[in-house]
Amino acid sequence: MGPAMDDTRPIFLQIAERIEDDIIEGTLEEEAQAPSTTQIAAFYHINPATAAKGVNLLVDEGILYKKRGIGMFVATGARQIALTKRKEQFYEQYIVSLIREANRLGITTEQLSDMIKKGAVQQ
């Protein structure tokens, strides 16, 4: 789960991302029951309809599925779907802004590549 919501982006998207994070990190395993809309709403102090919209987004993407009368469950293969989606976003979110800032500071592509290698070793 995690910290409070950011008021500058649609909350339902943030809810979907938090659940995806839990699936990617393995906190929420495939075929495990996902938190209910009511639990999510209470935990983040958000409107239950907004929480439901976030959950339904993941249903549409095949990450969660509904067992009638029981609740929402993580689909088999959900982790792979979430990972693929995040890797696509990674380029836009991180690489583009990294290169832009590097250009601004006069860091060459070669220096940037060395820094990434150095960082990877230290991590």
CA distance 22 to 19: 5
* Crossing angle of helices 37-44 and 11-25, rounded to 10°: 110
Which residue, 44 or 74, has its beta carbon nearer to other proteins? 44
Which residue, 76 or 103, has its beta carbon nearer to other proteins? 103
Shortest separation between residue 7's beta carbon and other proteins, angstroms: 5
Going by the DSSP 8-state scheme, the letter that residue 108 receives in this structure is: -
Contacts of 85 (CB under 8 A, 6+ apart): 20, 61
Footprint of other proteins (CB under 8 A)? 5-12, 38, 41-42, 44-50, 53, 92, 96-97, 100, 104
Which residue, 48 or 61, has its beta carbon nearer to other proteins? 48
Q: Please provide residue 34's backbone torsions phi and psi, each rounded to the nearest 5 degrees.
A: -80, 155
Q: Please provide residue 54's backbone torsions phi and psi, each rounded to the nearest 5 degrees.
A: -65, -45
Question: Helix and strand tally (H, E) in the chain?
Answer: 6, 2
Which residue, 30 or 71, has its beta carbon nearer to other proteins? 71
